[in-house]
Amino acid sequence: MQKSSEIKREFYAARLNSFRVNAADYDWGHSGKITAVDLVARAARAGLNAVDLNYPDHLERLEEKELVRRFDDLGVALNGYAMRYYSDAKFKLGAFTHPDRQVRRKAIDLTKQGLDSLALAGGNLMTLWMGQDGFDYSFQSDYGAMWDDTLSAIDEVASHNPAIDISIEYKPNEPRSFSLMPDVATTLLAIGAINQKNLGVTLDFAHVLYAEEMPAYAAMLVARHSRLLGVHLNDGYSKRDDGLMVGSVHPIQTIELIYVLEQIGYDGVLYFDTFPDTIGLDPGSEFKNNINAVKAMRRVVDRLTQNKFLGVAIQKQDAVASQAIVQAALFGGEG
């Protein structure tokens, strides 16, 4: 992550496209096309102080160094880029997994262009969400070939600029019925096979939930076997990528994740990958609520960390004792 002064612990980013909500009613200060700078300016008013840009769409008609200068004027640091494979309709059948070698090459080259742009901007984190890489039917795909092609592509991308970290954000499905990287175990298996030092994992809370994983456990596994390079906080009902506000459905699981993030020393940005635009919520108010929720949960985590009995209960796997302590930290009373 790039910024002019020392990185502080609490840095918050958000899904920029959420800030297009009610665009016609918002005063952008001009009548032209809404750019990434406009979205960041609107989000910064709500407390955003770090940003992830989608490549290539958020870079349209904008030069990297000028972009970062304008972000700096807004008090916003560049966290990194996230690749988006929208430029070719053929990518719907796969980018790194496409059966056509030329289409795969186009996806790899586009990713390298994104890395070059990120380097010009002074950033060092590229997130790969490969939602288009997967399958939908039995007898549709050569699974071994898809796996080999994907690992080869990630290896080439990681080698392009070893100074930039490449983080894989896994998701069970959507838009494909089955993603090639659906869960933490498969993702770590791929990273281990590629064996590049600049690879790591981004955990998205809702993705983890509907992969039927425990978020804190997934974070521990990543820290043990790779590097945790990004954390996307949101919530949902474990059936799909709901993108609900942080802690609105699974507050205790979110608190446990933050508790483990403290233990493993994660000091990166917390990115709110939520969808206020789905039902027309005010994105600024929703963003502030997410920040307040995390700050409240961090206060709970501080109380839990100071409770000498919690560690004992966890070591004994005494769920009754640990739940009593957590509930007392949340709601008051004796724990």
Name the H helices within the chain: 36-44, 64-73, 101-121, 143-160, 184-194, 205-210, 215-225, 251-264, 283-306, 308-315, 319-331
pLDDT per residue over 89-122, tens digit each?
999 999 999 999 999 999 999 999 999 999 999 9
Q: What percent of the chain has pLDDT over 70?
A: 97
* Domain edges within the chain: 12-299
Residue 215 CA to residue 211 CA, distance in Å, equals 10
Q: Residue 30: what pLDDT?
A: 92
Looking up tokens 């954390």 gives: 231
Residue 303: half-sphere exposure toward Cβ, Cα within 13 Å: 16
Nearest Cα neighbor of 124 from 200, 191, 70 is 200
Q: How confident is the model at residue 5 (pLDDT cuts 50, 70, 90)?
A: very low
Name 22's Cβ contacts closer than 8 Å, sequence gap at least 6. Answer: 280, 282
pLDDT per residue over 13-55, tens digit each?
999 999 999 898 899 999 889 999 999 999 999 999 999 999 9
CA of 214: how far to CAs of 34, 207, 262, in Å?
A: 38, 11, 16
Nearest Cα neighbor of 287 from 333, 245, 241, 239 is 245
Sign of the CA dihedral running 187, 193, 194, 198: positive
3-state percent breakdown (helix, strand, coil) of the chain, nearest 5? 50, 15, 35
The residues pairing with 2 across neighbouring beta strands, listed in sequence order, are 78
The residues pairing with 83 across neighbouring beta strands, listed in sequence order, are 55
Average pLDDT, the chain: 95
Residue 129 CA to residue 77 CA, distance in Å, equals 22
Q: Is domain 12-299 given the CATH code 2.60.40.1930 in the classification?
A: no
